[in-house]
Amino acid sequence: MAVAEWKKELTDNFSETVAWRRHLHQYPEPSFEEIETSLFIKEKLEAFGVDEIRTNVGNGYGIVGKIIGKHPGPTVALRADFDALRVTEEVDSPFKSKHAGIMHACGHDGHTAALLSVAKVMAKHKDDLHGTIVFLHQHAEEVIPGGAKSMVEDGAINDVDVVFGIHLDASQPVNHVFYTYDFGSANSDSFTMRIQGKGGHGADPHNTHDALTIGSQIVTALQHIVSRLTDPVKPAVLSFAGFQAGGEANNIIADSAEIKGTVRTLHGDVQQLIETKLQTMSQSIAQAFDASVEVDYMKGYPSIQNSSKEVDRVKETLLNTFSKDEVSHLDGSMGGEDFAYFLQKKPGAFLRVGAKAKDVAVAYPHHHPKFDIDEQSLLRSGEVFLAIIETYLTK
Ligand SMILES: [Zn+2]
Ligand SMILES: [Zn+2]
């Protein structure tokens, strides 16, 4: 059986896959600056004998590779992102980041190595394929506007029938695979408010418009949006993440204040309501106290909408491939992920692969300086990609 051979080759190549991941881990590059990373990927795809390779796809260093099967059939796209974060690594390992202040702290090095390992195997098995595999090596997932949207606009998935992505998940046990129905991530927006009051002496509050207390009123009042104004059966999160005002001395009333936060929603009407209320409530409060406020509301990535039909199909293969207790459903999260743009255009799904080592009780979260993965998850990620190929491209 062809698929058994693919899996054997993937396993045989595992130490090489790990070496690729460690190389990428040592030389991480932040979003939109992944010059060496994209070159590394391109050279590998060329060496494997991938049929078509497009570089500089979208608004950065995106790469699209294609393996065209011997037999006609559908086209399946597989995505791995490859950017790192501006985080200073605190994990001591022989392959610790050599780029100061930059780290693969989200596992994108693992996604990339796993997808490359699949390209290497499948380039040798075009005869087995009824259809085409498109490899989406995506730049800049971590920083808005992201790379996915522009890759879609640049035609990366024009000829594609279904699209799949995976993300390692360090909070879940290694070798476990998770599928999600419906929403996988949230509309992820952010906002900044600048309050302009009138500073002055702390002993003369009546001659000031205290930006700090006005800002406090705004923060408190806006807590009512999610608890009182949005439909309780439609998820929403409004979190404040920063408040800066005054601080020059104990007796100076703040002239201005800056407040930052994030808004997460699944439904367009809720998103719109929160944006509107952020504006009107903060303006009314500022006005009431003779100050003014400027609100910048920035729309981020839309929410991932998985296609039930494709989840059904892949789930069946996963359950036939792995032991039953290793494959399960995982609820979507209110996090953001620009894979959503691929799913806005084509059906497909976003899967998660556990990456927490067996001897670790609670893993450090993604984006943490001590974030780490169990590299066994790279092999499992490759096997998941092969299961997707098996589902769509074998007869
Ligand atoms: Zn991340
Ligand atoms: Zn990520």
The full set of domain ranges for the chain reads 2-185+302-393, 187-298
- Nearest-angstrom CA–CA distance, 377 and 361: 17
Please give the CATH architecture assigned to the domain spanning 187-298: 2-Layer Sandwich (3.30)
Contact (Cβ atoms closer than 8 angstroms) between residue 23 and residue 115: no
365 C-alpha to ligand 1 centroid (Å):
10
Q: How many Å apart are CA 369 and CA 74, to the nearest integer?
A: 41
- Residues in contact with 95: Cβ distance below 8 Å, sequence separation at least 6, in sequence order: 22, 23, 25, 26
Provide the pLDDT confidence category of residue 313 given band limits of 50, 70 and 90.
Answer: very high
Q: May I ask the CATH architecture of the domain 2-185+302-393?
A: 3-Layer(aba) Sandwich (3.40)
| Coil vs helix vs strand at 305 | strand
Determine the average pLDDT of the residues in 366-392: 98
Centre of ligand 1 from the C-alpha of residue 88, in Å: 14
Catalytic annotation, residues: 83, 141
Helices (H), 123-256: 148-153, 211-224
Q: Which ligand is nearest to the CA of 109?
A: 2
For ligand 1, the distance from its centroid to the CA atom of residue 308, given in whole angstroms, is: 25
211-225 pLDDT, tens digit each: 999 999 999 999 999
> CB burial class (10 A; 0-12, 13-18, 19+) of residue 51?
middle
Ligand nearest to the CA of 166: 2
335 alpha carbon to ligand 2 midpoint, in Å? 10
d(CA 25, CA 30): 12
* Number of the ligand closest to the Cα of 85: 1
Q: Does the pLDDT value for residue 202 go beyond 90?
A: yes
From ligand 1's centre to the CA of 106, what distance in Å?
5
Round to whole Å and give the CA distance between 216 and 211: 8
Q: How far is the CA of 136 from the centre of ligand 2 (A)?
A: 15
Confidence check: pLDDT of 137 > 80: yes
Statement: residue 381 has pLDDT above 80: yes
In angstroms, the CA 209 to CA 117 distance is 62
Cα of 358 vs centre of ligand 2, distance in Å, is: 21
Q: Same CATH topology for 2-185+302-393 and 187-298?
A: no
Average pLDDT over residues 316-336: 96
Is the pLDDT at 326 greater than 90? The verdict is: yes
pLDDT level of residue 393 (50, 70, 90 thresholds): very high
Residue 1 confidence (pLDDT): 72
Residue 154's pLDDT is what? 98
Please tell me the predicted confidence (pLDDT) of residue 361: 86
Q: pLDDT per residue over 83-136, tens digit each?
A: 999 999 999 999 999 999 999 999 999 999 999 999 999 999 999 999 999 999
- Nearest ligand to the CA of 86 is 1
Q: Where are the alpha helices (DSSP H) in 49-190?
A: 108-122, 148-153
Ligand nearest to the CA of 368: 1
pLDDT digits (tens, 9 = 90+) for 230-244: 999 999 999 999 999
Mean pLDDT, the chain, as a whole number? 97
Report CA(140)–ligand 2 centroid distance (Å): 10
> Which two structure tokens, joined as six digits, stand for 387?
């299961």
What would the pLDDT profile of 15-28 be if each residue is shown by its tens digit?
Answer: 999 999 999 999 99
Closest to 99 (Cα-Cα) out of 183, 29, 32, 167: 29
What pLDDT score does 259 carry? 98
Which residue in 341, 270, 347 sits closest to 306, CA to CA? 347
CA distance 281 to 222: 7
Q: Calculate how far, in angstroms, residue 199's C-alpha sits from the geometric centre of ligand 2.
A: 43
